[in-house]
């Protein structure tokens, strides 16, 4: 039975069948198609380690076409993504009146006192040294600035940090400052925010600290700002350096 079936299949595979829509004797519900077959030999000697001929390989050009026109901008994409951070600037400038905020300190009798900046700067040349973290290894820079301010003839030097009065008092004692140096507490960060000197509290360098101030140097005479600047080296180190 298998032999007749194979003969029938071979007959239909080799006999061409033509269709004619103009034949009046053909059934209108039947459509005839012409079938053509080609016999190609299949090679069984393919070598896995032998590269295919060029005619049987594909390239990106054959799949996607030739390269398109060059981009309008010739700047490398990586270069466009890397942007230098803007240099920080304080919210106040030379000639402005110093913000009249209230700061706190601990006197010799261990009593918490408050003082406004307007009364502190009245008829005096006051230098404010803003620091980030009391007792940090960078406190030696504060000492250098205190000495520099003394040489410029400041009547009063005020060290300000977003910390409590007890920490500021203890830090002042460790630095052996005299009465001309006040260790002021900006506990709520009011002065820091007013000056625009607050650091980003979400930074990974915060080490669990709360709002902190950038290191800044501000001089005022009779309540008018005469010079103000940020510590330019702060952008190169972490909030609390371990060096």
Q: Please report the pLDDT score of residue 64 as a whole number.
A: 59
Q: Please give the residue that has the higher pLDDT: either 94 or 13.
A: 94
**Residue 132 forms part of a structural domain:** yes
30: in domain:
no
Is 184:104 a contact under the CB 8 Å cutoff?
Answer: yes
- Domain CATH for 185: 3.40.30.10
Model pLDDT, residue 84? 43
Classify residue 22: in a domain, yes or no.
no
pLDDT of res. 180: 80
- Tell me what pLDDT residue 134 has: 82
CA distance 126 to 124: 6
110 part of a folded domain: yes
Domain count within the chain: 1
Residue 155 lies in a domain: yes
Domain contains 114? yes
Catalytic residue ranges? 139
Please indicate, yes or no, if residue 123 is contained in any of the structural domains: yes
Q: Give the residue from 147, 140, 151, 150 showing the smallest Cα distance to 174.
A: 140
């Amino acid at each position: 039975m298998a032999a007749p079936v194979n003969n029938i299949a071979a007959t239909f595979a080799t006999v061409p069948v033509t269709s004619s829509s103009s034949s009046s004797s053909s059934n209108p519900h039947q459509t005839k198609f012409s079938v053509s077959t080609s016999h190609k030999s299949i090679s069984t000697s393919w070598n896995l380690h032998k590269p295919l001929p060029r005619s049987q390989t594909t390239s990106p050009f054959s799949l996607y076409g030739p390269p398109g026109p060059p981009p309008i901008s010739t700047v490398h994409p990586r270069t466009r993504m890397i942007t230098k951070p803007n240099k920080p600037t304080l919210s106040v400038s030379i000639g402005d009146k110093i913000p009249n905020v209230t700061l706190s300190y601990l006197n010799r009798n261990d009593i918490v006192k408050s003082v406004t900046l307007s009364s502190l700067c009245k008829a005096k040349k006051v230098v404010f040294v803003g620091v980030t973290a009391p007792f940090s290894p960078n406190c030696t820079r504060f000492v250098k600035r205190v000495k520099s301010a003394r040489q410029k003839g400041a009547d009063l030097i005020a060290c300000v940090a977003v910390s409590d009065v007890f920490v500021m008092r203890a830090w002042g004692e460790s630095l052996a400052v005299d009465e001309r140096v006040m260790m002021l507490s900006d506990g709520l960060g009011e002065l820091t925010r007013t000056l625009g000197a607050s650091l980003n509290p979400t930074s990974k360098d915060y080490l669990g600290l709360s709002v902190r101030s950038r290191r800044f140097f501000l001089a005022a005479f009779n309540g008018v700002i005469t010079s103000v600047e940020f510590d330019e080296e702060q952008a190169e180190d972490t909030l609390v350096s371990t060096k």
